[in-house]
Structure 1
Amino acid sequence: MNVSYKVMKYFAAAAHHKSLSKAAAEMNISQSAISLAVDSLERELGLSLLNRQRSKGISLTVKGQEVLTRIQSILDQVDNFERDMLGLQEDISGDLHIGCFTPLAPIVLVPVLKRMITAHQAIRANIIEGNVRHIFDCIHRGEVDVGISYDEADISAGLKTQTLAVVPPHVVVPYDHPLAEMPTIPISALINQNLILLDLPSSRQYYTSLFETAGFQPKFAYKSGNYEMIRSMVGAGIGIAILQTCPPIDYTQSGTKVVCKPIRENLRKSRLVVAYTQQAIKRNSVKAFVQQCEAYFTTEASRRLIVSRKLA
């Protein structure tokens, strides 16, 4: 028996579309070539595989359905083999362009990047930081291969995202502040405090909405677009803030100490995601980076970044 891969592909396409003309269009060949391929397969097997009806197209005979099932299994195995071979041919090396929401870069991207470079030493990472919208725009434009950020449905549309963690907001207070003694802080306790806002696109709307959802109109005494600046301002006693991921150390860059406390109410959480295009994920280096992201967020170190209420 001598049945070629090409003949099997043409027969499977005809059976799938139930039309010789549509199969020909998909395969980018003439309809007569499809017809000849099916005829040759029938001769080789000694079976009638298709019912041909001029007005209704084609349909599979009982034997044709059995043959299609076996042929499709063979085609799937060939496709899997080709993918595996491509994977072997593509070393995980070279430049990987990574975007990251700025506050997440030192506490999330760095440990993920360390894992990536340890596993794949030939990788060279080029990093772009920015606000949420900028990171997603860079992914859309192909300026980065993959990005880590909080998800915003309106700007991540069209991209593939994988959730790494669901992150609740928390309060950051000076270590000697009265609120630091409370196991959880009600959002109503923040109304008369000097509040500091992380003033970045998307972030400002998110933090403002937390108060509005709880029925309060927030009054921010100070604003900054720098995450660590806000923590240092809190440590200096200038005000308090609501943030999300919590660095693994209590000290700020200015040497002062702060405490991260959970909020008592169950407020809206954010999805921390790794995002990429459907085309980018075909690259082994992007797949490997996504896998390292997922692996990191199974560790105890990653869990310490998230401040949650302890439920009774």
Structure 2
Amino acid sequence: MNLPNVTVRQLEYLIAVAETGSVTGAAARCHVTQGAISLALSELERALDLRLVVRSPRRGATVTAAGARVLADARRVVGAMGDLGVEARGLSQKIGGVLTVGCYTPIAPFHLPAAIATFERAHPEVSVRFVEGSLPEIGEDVVSGRCEIAFLYDQDLVPGITTRTLYDQPPKVLLPADHRLRRRRAVALRELAGDPFVLLDVPPSERYFRSVFAAAGAEMVVTHRARSFELARSLVARGIGYSITVQQPALGRSYEGLEVVAVPLRDEVPTTPVVLGWANGPLTRRAQAFADHCAALFAQ
């Protein structure tokens, strides 16, 4: 079997070009000359017999479709080599390197700060970076290798992702402090018919909330759409409408300091578990350690 003559350094340079969008940016990140980056890319393309990057003066460097597929493998190889380097230095009981974690934007404040701070304290040899976005965006980041592991809802995930459930909890209704139903122990969605509804609109949240309304036998009529969790809560706090939330902050107040009341739903509705997701296949040692750490951290 003839294996391509590819080096880890070439793969590192390809990753740097993809993430910075230019040969100049990659050279600055890797502390080498632009000529060294260009030569390594040319040698890599020749070894694989593929066009990986298109370069232009105006658009910088753009990864081709074939390059994107190679890029995903390159990230896995470079990550595995980082683990191997730790082993080779006689630190077999420790982990190291850079771990990039993805997160669905609405749940990021509930997970990323605690996970990063406590994990880096437990594993100081690991430096954690993060990216956030919609579920489809983060799913693609996981599959492409841009991040090794991610916090997601177990909903409409792209193919090729393995998951591990962290916890599951039912949604609640968010009401302003002076709402007629604020003192109820539980509320049925039908009781809110006619009230303006504030939708947290970060894909694919609308699909999930529609399934909640359908299960409750109520119609979801959206009056306002908010792209952030805190804007939705602030609109509710001002009496502009009610909303539904899965995550519940420790403090029941908006940014303005106005009270927001979370009331359980009486209806039997679907839940959406919070999971860790990673591309099908084995995890790096640092990603496995992160998964185990988060499972303990967020256990109910």
Structure 1 residue 115 and structure 2 residue 145: aligned?
no
Deviating runs (4+, > 4 A) in structure 1? Answer: 85-88
Superposition deviation, residue 230 in structure 1: 0.3
Question: How many residue pairs are counted as aligned between the two chains?
Answer: 216
User: Residues of 1 paired with 2:216 and 2:92: CA distance?
Assistant: 55
Aligned counterpart, 1:172 = 174
Counterpart contact for 1:234–1:240, Cα < 8 Å: yes
Counterpart contact for 1:146–1:280, Cα < 8 Å: no
Identical columns (%): 29
User: Residues of 2 paired with 1:175 and 1:102: CA distance?
Assistant: 26
Cα gap change, 1:219 to 1:278, in 2 (>3 Å):
closer
Aligned match for 1:262, one of 261, 264, 268: 264
**Structure 2 unaligned runs (5+)?**
2-83
TM-score (norm 1): 0.65
Q: Which amino acid aligns with 1:275?
A: G
User: Residues of 2 paired with 1:150 and 1:117: CA distance?
Assistant: 24
Aligned match for 1:228, one of 227, 230, 235: 230
Aligned match for 2:106, one of 103, 106, 109: 103
Counterpart contact for 1:145–1:280, Cα < 8 Å: no
Structure 1 residue 293 and structure 2 residue 282: aligned?
no
Aligned counterpart, 2:239 = 237
Superposition deviation, residue 88 in structure 1: 4.3
Aligned match for 2:153, one of 140, 150, 154: 150
Counterpart contact for 1:96–1:145, Cα < 8 Å: yes
TM-score (norm 2): 0.67
User: Residues of 2 paired with 1:125 and 1:156: CA distance?
Assistant: 24
Aligned match for 1:215, one of 189, 201, 217: 217
**For each residue in 1:30-66, what CA deviation from the matched residue of structure 2 results, as whole angstroms up to 9, or x when unmatched?**
xxxxxxxxxxxxxxxxxxxxxxxxxxxxxxxxxxxxx
Superposition deviation, residue 255 in structure 1: 1.7
User: Residues of 1 paired with 2:132 and 2:246: CA distance?
Assistant: 17
User: Residues of 2 paired with 1:197 and 1:176: CA distance?
Assistant: 20
Superposition deviation, residue 120 in structure 1: 1.1
CA RMSD of aligned residues (A): 2.2
The structure whose Rg is larger is 1
Aligned counterpart, 2:130 = 127
Structure 1 residue 276 and structure 2 residue 258: aligned?
no
Aligned counterpart, 1:183 = 185
**Structure 1 unaligned runs (5+)?**
1-24, 26-81, 304-312
Q: Which amino acid aligns with 2:98?
A: D
